Structure 1
């Protein structure tokens, strides 16, 4: 029976696996333990049949497929028909290559190439000497020359033209296609064709055929040791040699697989029809280093390999894209399949690992086993002399010469083969041990005795630790910690601020006592427990391991992974109790296993070399705090699209939206190939937002009810390690106002409102004036009624009484004293009558009903002028109009007082009254040509003891008028009363 090549490989593999030393494979972890694997298929938007992958200088990943060119940011596949604003010659692309100068080279299936750099493009075709036919490979030589392999030959770029390599140089593949170009570490050029593999040493001109020559080869790979491998693209790899080809049948392949690549670490990766396989040095292919579709590979026929600048491996299959990202957490490379092992750090960076059902091994960080014992343990402690002590189901084992020392367990524990769950040695040398269902025991003077101190909680012990002073701390379920200091016992709990639930870990360093449990962690300051809070409010759940490192960092191991609190953040917490910033290593970093709530505790220890060992369901993993790879490159940020009122708009230039637009929907992205879920965004809309809006991982922003104006949208992002791109991406957006939103409309509205308010004010004033007028008329009517009553009754009766007394007085002889008394009494009554008549006159309106204001003023002035030497005249302008009663009374009274003063005090020869009935105001002017008004009288507003001017001002104020007085330049005085129209019109 004839075996196929694949059958021969399977048979050889089975034989070698049977002879394979387990110890060799034990030094290496599974592929999916060292790497986090993620696959994208059509369901996640990935294109099919990825033929080439490259990464440009800005960090974006580019994929070529038969359906077009795609760009990938770690989350979204975006089909691109242009690069940097320049269109591709064709959407059917093949090879991709990013040159050291940052240029992106794109080859086409139907010939030609394009190079995109710094926003410019250069296309190459037949006119530039570019070989016709499909383009397969670009490669840059060590001397900087660009080479291309095509279906019709090999060429290099000389200036702006391509130079074909001809048969005269020894390169003669005939009509066969040229597939691949490679330069090894010595600078030798290797070229594969469908006929043979050629090589040309650096500095030489001629090509020679490599050996073996009688194989069909498609691709080449250069190993770190200088070996050049060639693949036939099916299931065979050959080591190529510069020796002369030998005649004879085709040689047997060295390795299977349809493609081979080497990562930067020098590790070989083999791609086969149904798997991806990592080949570790000096180890035959290991099934644990393979990933197939059953293990999550995106599809069959993985055909493209690329390692990005962060060391992430990308592989394209017929159905999608796969990512292999090196974990920050390293799984313990050991054949010990221990679930949730107990860990204890010993000397020289070594850790002893064990669990209830396994032996104990002393291991180093590379998984090498230095010491094996039959003492499986579940808890460990440090003895007072510094030796490690392990709690086994036989007792306390202290390693040492000739198997060490075993302190037998209490008889009850030995009888039931119970393992210790917590162990500590106090300052006096007594051992304290806890057993499930047996309780707490103490070894004193060589005898175990159960601890029955009533002061201790009757609850399950989860963890114990002796501090530097020899005191024993015991952690219980239910927020309780016991502190045993000799004969003194204290129980600490919620009264001291303890709020961590079941106490699962105790740790002391640098004078700090830390406690951790199912609900968090806290620091004991000697009086109270200060809770540890995280800056973003993330809850600390199930903290079963806690270490304060020598470098001042705090590490906590819990349900969500490993929390790292940097030294600066920890110092802030120790100083003021402030919430601390942190970094979380979790599932994405390879920390996948949880921790049993029952132990063993602690689930994290620090080895003497500073490495942290963590225990979980999946076994043990290692973290090297000072060696965690960090990405210091801020992520590029890009605006993807914008919509407003259902209309999409480009985002590559400032936008002016239509009138009436009132909402924005913006989508954006940032490069995060390794861990896109950890990209964090902040955005703001300047012109609306006062501060940044934290979006977390959300890549959209929505704004509604926007008014017209100028806006600038800005988005920034941080990579997985918290490095922010503070420049980000921006977009200027202008929303023009509609007419009703414009400034002119607002001004018109303001003017209309002002006019309405003015009219309302005038209406209100008129209403108030009418109300005052009505009240004044009512008051005048009442005064006139009183005046009539007084005149018709009191005054008439008084006058009659005077006449009767005069008749009686005439009958009294003049010589009698009574006659004189009666005359005096009658005189007094007549004087009172005169004064009463004057008062009655004052109750009546000074204006006569049949006269206008001007006529009343002229009548009063002419009456005074008739008995005095000064002349009087009145000048009137405008048509007289009716005045409100109160206004007319007050104006006449002011005018009468002014005219009277002029006749009495001015010593003038002429007194003139000007009365102007204007539309906007009524003006009364009284002037003379006399001696004027004294300066002190003007300054004081009137003479002391004389109230004429004061009264006039008060009357003017009552009707809202303005009263002015002073001296004229040509001599004489004036008084001007101005009444606004709102008070002057009836």
Structure 2
């Protein structure tokens, strides 16, 4: 049985067939086919009873409600009691209007208005001539004059005097009723609606006239593109206004259209609001089509839609009593109609030169169809594959064989007879330069139909045995064969080369192969790659792998995977369009060129059109392929399980203005901070949470953010669509937070928003504290050093005391033993010598021996004196020296005087002992050798150290004695050694006028204890 099952995905191929006369037409797509709808209610934070909507030049949407003024960025509703830092006069606002110069007008329920422009504000009330009563509307006339209506007046703003001028009886305007709205039609006629009648005056006239109908309840006005002006009663009727006077006694006219309000968008489409629903009426259509309506029970945010606004991007906003609704024009629209006369799965194939017509096929029939959904000519059989012949005509393949598209005779080339298959379907098709047809059938080898012979053969049995998914005969007469499993065979001059489809996991099962501008692209279930001949001219015979060819995989800059690429085309502009599981992907021509130039080294930016752009359904992974083609009029036909869709690249309305960026809130340590720059945070703050936003009304989920905190971040942080930033472990200092954003079309606001932040240090974080800590550390080190020195001094002192005690012990031992024994021996020798006559030689020898012993005793006594020459431990240096000098002066002729200057201080024991030894030796030498009458000792204590000066008025020192020891009497060498041992300097010399001086200088650091 010949059929195409209902799960087949779209196939797009190139066709060529002239159009036949139209057969019949179809109704237009429904409201939700053309517009993406979204509703916000209280559950999503939307305010209720929306009364007015406007958009300021920076892109923010402003909404007035009885509870206040709100700003909307596409994600969050924020209530504002001020605009640009200037407070509103009242939170109960009514009309909103954005003037051409960017001024935001806000009217109040209890009278008056405010005008906000940049950082300036102007408030208007009775003192400025503003009419009394609740403010109802603002309108800017073609000449730039601003008009206002209130419950009790109509006025215009005299900008030179900045005052409002009331309009009244002098202009035949005395309604005696509430004044609602001012409207200027395209002819320049001014219309004013009141609760009882509508007034008008033509351009250049000074007085108003009453329009028909009159004497009925009226409210809002609307001007149609054809010049017709409509008025609504605000409940259930819309009337066409006329400038012909109505008879006072005429019965109330019958409304021409139902509804509580009427508006026209920039495309001239009428929008009707009623108590329960919103309806769209396209030009040339009639009201009442249920497919053009959206009611509360089908997703409208609430009952009583009462406010209409079209923003700068063509998005329609409607306010209800319960929330806000958005109708955003789809960039991809379904083929009219989406479900009336076509199966949900279709197969489009291009017919170039046929005024943008394509062939569409479902599982039973095919039609030549235009973008308006009109079918041309009789229906043909269903097809699965297609290929353009060398003569420009179209071949179609399906169950049973191959035939020419549009051939009324339908001459069939019977499909090849394959073993085990009674009915064969042609899944892929191509025609080479010789006119041979190449066909792929399910799980069968590649088949060739030889021209003129009517025979089929399989000339390349060595090809892979996998399922063939795609065929292409390129401009170089090469045949490309794409297989399940990600392999590609290239046949050229009867030589076969096999190329793995990409690196790593590759592109998966090959689903389409396309040649464009000399480039061959291969697409599959895991991605897209470009064929590259790495070694031109190198070939491999048979079915071997080619080392001279490879496929460069295309990678996207945002990291998104290209999954299920079932269609690929390149437009005349050079853009690359892909049909994927996620939707339709566009890669701009310059990015394609960069990819080819850089040999695929870097990822490329891309644009995704998904379900939010009107792309519906999916494509089955088994075909038919491809699923996207470009018609001769530039319209792209996209296939999916939801039917055929149309995309006109040149008609896509791009968002050229960068999105406004705003820092919403700042918090630290769980406390909210006002995000006003510069922001000083409390002392000790170490964390930061910043929320930011950007105007992205059409597709807020596609708004992209980057931020950085100067002083912390080295570069920009890519936040994707995340609208908050977190920082921890912050140090005190000055920071600057910057955030930038891009809209869904990649237009960046590089200025973004900034916030200067300072975090004061705590006391322990200040430089003073750190300096104090450094000083404390140094003091601690110094104290430790002094403690260590004191400890070493105590150890040295203990060792010195031990040394002194040992010297005293040795001295006592020598005195009590050696000297006593020697003295006894001398006495015995004197006794014995007395018994020897003087004339005997023995007596002389005895006398010499006694002399030697006495000399040894004297030297021993001197040594014992040296051992015991140290000052006592409990005696100061000056006391010890004075005691020693006075003791010598008591038995010897010279006089001795001692002077102590400065404040005496205690010396280390070893130092004290060495200084005493040097002073003792100097005093002793002066007494023994100087032949002086006066000896003086000066001991001077200064902050820099200690000076010991011993001087006399004797005979002086021989010059040669200053550099040598003379029989041990002067001991200069020993004194110098002692001085060097304690870090002191010793100076010895003769005084002018006679005498000797010895000066010992000891720096303080060497003598301190």
Q: How far has the Cα of 1:453 moved from its partner?
A: 2.5
User: How many angstroms apart in 1 are the aligned matches of 2:974 and 2:608?
Assistant: 89
Q: How far has the Cα of 1:479 moved from its partner?
A: 3.0
DSSP-derived class of the 2:758 partner: strand
DSSP-derived class of the 1:760 partner: helix
Give the counterpart of 1:531 among 553, 561, 582: 553
Answer yes or no: is the 8 Å Cα contact 1:62–1:71 preserved in 2: yes
Q: Does 1:114 align with 2:117?
A: no
Answer yes or no: is the 8 Å Cα contact 2:52–2:96 preserved in 1: yes
Q: How far has the Cα of 1:770 moved from its partner?
A: 5.8
Deviation per CA, 1:87-126: give whole Å up to 9, x if none: 4443333322222233333333344433333444444444
Give the counterpart of 2:255 among 250, 253, 265: 253
Q: Which residue of 2 aligns with 1:654?
A: 678
Relative contact order (alpha carbons < 8 A, sep ≥ 6): 1 or 2 greater? 2
Answer yes or no: is the 8 Å Cα contact 1:25–1:283 preserved in 2: no
DSSP-derived class of the 1:155 partner: strand
Q: Does 1:447 align with 2:448?
A: no
DSSP-derived class of the 2:426 partner: coil
Instruction: Return 370-379 or 322-331, whichever deviates more.
Output: 370-379
- For residues 404-803 of structure 1, the aligned pairs below 5 Å read 406-412=412-418, 416-426=422-432, 429-438=435-444, 440-444=446-450, 445-449=453-457, 453-454=461-462, 456-493=463-500, 497=504, 499-525=506-532, 526=534, 527-573=549-595, 574-576=597-599, 577-767=601-791
User: How many angstroms apart in 2 are the aligned matches of 1:232 and 1:415?
Assistant: 71
Change over 3 Å in CA distance of 1:284–1:412 after alignment to 2: farther
Q: Which residue of 1 aligns with 2:313?
A: 310
DSSP-derived class of the 2:774 partner: helix
Answer yes or no: is the 8 Å Cα contact 1:354–1:378 preserved in 2: no
Deviation per CA, 1:804-831: give whole Å up to 9, x if none: xxxxxxxxxxxxxxxxxxxxxxxxxxxx
Q: How far has the Cα of 1:582 moved from its partner?
A: 2.4
DSSP-derived class of the 1:411 partner: coil
Change over 3 Å in CA distance of 1:430–1:23 after alignment to 2: closer
Answer yes or no: is the 8 Å Cα contact 1:683–1:694 preserved in 2: yes
Answer yes or no: is the 8 Å Cα contact 1:535–1:579 preserved in 2: yes
Change over 3 Å in CA distance of 1:523–1:846 after alignment to 2: farther
Q: Does 1:81 align with 2:89?
A: no
Answer yes or no: is the 8 Å Cα contact 1:356–1:378 preserved in 2: no
Answer yes or no: is the 8 Å Cα contact 2:811–2:868 preserved in 1: no
Deviation per CA, 1:653-692: give whole Å up to 9, x if none: 5333443444333322222222222222233333443433
Change over 3 Å in CA distance of 1:973–1:365 after alignment to 2: farther
Give the counterpart of 1:345 among 340, 343, 350: 350
Change over 3 Å in CA distance of 1:875–1:393 after alignment to 2: farther
- For residues 731-880 of structure 1, the aligned pairs below 5 Å read 731-767=755-791
- For residues 229-378 of structure 1, the aligned pairs below 5 Å read 229-245=230-246, 248-285=250-287, 286-333=289-336, 337-348=342-353, 350=356, 352-370=358-376, 373-378=379-384
Answer yes or no: is the 8 Å Cα contact 2:23–2:374 preserved in 1: no
Give the counterpart of 1:166 among 156, 168, 172: 168
Deviation per CA, 1:374-393: give whole Å up to 9, x if none: 14222223334444332222
Deviation per CA, 1:619-658: give whole Å up to 9, x if none: 2333344543222222222222333334333333533344
Change over 3 Å in CA distance of 1:162–1:350 after alignment to 2: closer
Instruction: Return 392-401 or 29-38, whichever deviates more.
Output: 392-401
Answer yes or no: is the 8 Å Cα contact 1:377–1:419 preserved in 2: no
DSSP-derived class of the 2:775 partner: helix
Q: Which residue of 2 aligns with 1:818?
A: none
Q: Which residue of 2 aligns with 1:822?
A: none
Q: How far has the Cα of 1:409 moved from its partner?
A: 1.3
User: How many angstroms apart in 1 are the aligned matches of 2:807 and 2:523?
Assistant: 97
User: How many angstroms apart in 1 are the aligned matches of 2:531 and 2:937?
Assistant: 100
Q: Does 1:182 align with 2:183?
A: yes
Deviation per CA, 1:532-571: give whole Å up to 9, x if none: 2222322222222233444343333322223333334334
Q: Does 1:46 align with 2:46?
A: yes
User: How many angstroms apart in 1 are the aligned matches of 2:806 and 2:643?
Assistant: 111
Change over 3 Å in CA distance of 1:720–1:403 after alignment to 2: same
DSSP-derived class of the 1:757 partner: helix
Change over 3 Å in CA distance of 1:24–1:483 after alignment to 2: closer
User: How many angstroms apart in 2 are the aligned matches of 1:178 and 1:726?
Assistant: 45
User: How many angstroms apart in 2 are the aligned matches of 1:844 and 1:343?
Assistant: 125
DSSP-derived class of the 1:682 partner: strand
User: How many angstroms apart in 2 are the aligned matches of 1:109 and 1:516?
Assistant: 62
User: How many angstroms apart in 2 are the aligned matches of 1:377 and 1:926?
Assistant: 129
User: How many angstroms apart in 2 are the aligned matches of 1:559 and 1:966?
Assistant: 108
TM-score for both structures, normalised by structure 2 = 0.77
DSSP-derived class of the 2:667 partner: strand
Answer yes or no: is the 8 Å Cα contact 2:870–2:917 preserved in 1: no
User: How many angstroms apart in 2 are the aligned matches of 1:853 and 1:677?
Assistant: 93
Answer yes or no: is the 8 Å Cα contact 1:328–1:590 preserved in 2: yes
Q: Which residue of 2 aligns with 1:34?
A: 34
Instruction: Return 653-662 or 71-80, whichever deviates more.
Output: 653-662
Change over 3 Å in CA distance of 1:234–1:465 after alignment to 2: same
User: How many angstroms apart in 2 are the aligned matches of 1:762 and 1:489?
Assistant: 92
User: How many angstroms apart in 2 are the aligned matches of 1:693 and 1:485?
Assistant: 50
Q: How far has the Cα of 1:974 moved from its partner?
A: 10
User: How many angstroms apart in 2 are the aligned matches of 1:728 and 1:899?
Assistant: 93
Q: Which residue of 2 aligns with 1:939?
A: none
Q: How far has the Cα of 1:875 moved from its partner?
A: 7.5
Q: How far has the Cα of 1:200 moved from its partner?
A: 1.0
Unmatched 5+ stretches in structure 1: 1-20, 791-832, 863-870, 903-909, 930-947
DSSP-derived class of the 1:681 partner: strand
Answer yes or no: is the 8 Å Cα contact 2:499–2:551 preserved in 1: no
User: How many angstroms apart in 1 are the aligned matches of 2:807 and 2:530?
Assistant: 93
User: How many angstroms apart in 1 are the aligned matches of 2:802 and 2:277?
Assistant: 112
User: How many angstroms apart in 2 are the aligned matches of 1:253 and 1:232?
Assistant: 10
RMSD: 5.2
Answer yes or no: is the 8 Å Cα contact 1:895–1:924 preserved in 2: no
DSSP-derived class of the 1:136 partner: strand
Quick check: which one's helix share is greater? 1
Answer yes or no: is the 8 Å Cα contact 1:898–1:926 preserved in 2: no
User: How many angstroms apart in 1 are the aligned matches of 2:767 and 2:812?
Assistant: 66
DSSP-derived class of the 1:481 partner: strand
Answer yes or no: is the 8 Å Cα contact 2:619–2:639 preserved in 1: yes
User: How many angstroms apart in 2 are the aligned matches of 1:130 and 1:378?
Assistant: 72
User: How many angstroms apart in 2 are the aligned matches of 1:267 and 1:37?
Assistant: 17
User: How many angstroms apart in 2 are the aligned matches of 1:515 and 1:99?
Assistant: 53
TM-score for both structures, normalised by structure 1 = 0.79
Q: Which residue of 1 aligns with 2:69?
A: 69
Q: How far has the Cα of 1:305 moved from its partner?
A: 0.9
Q: How far has the Cα of 1:346 moved from its partner?
A: 3.4
User: How many angstroms apart in 1 are the aligned matches of 2:629 and 2:1003?
Assistant: 98
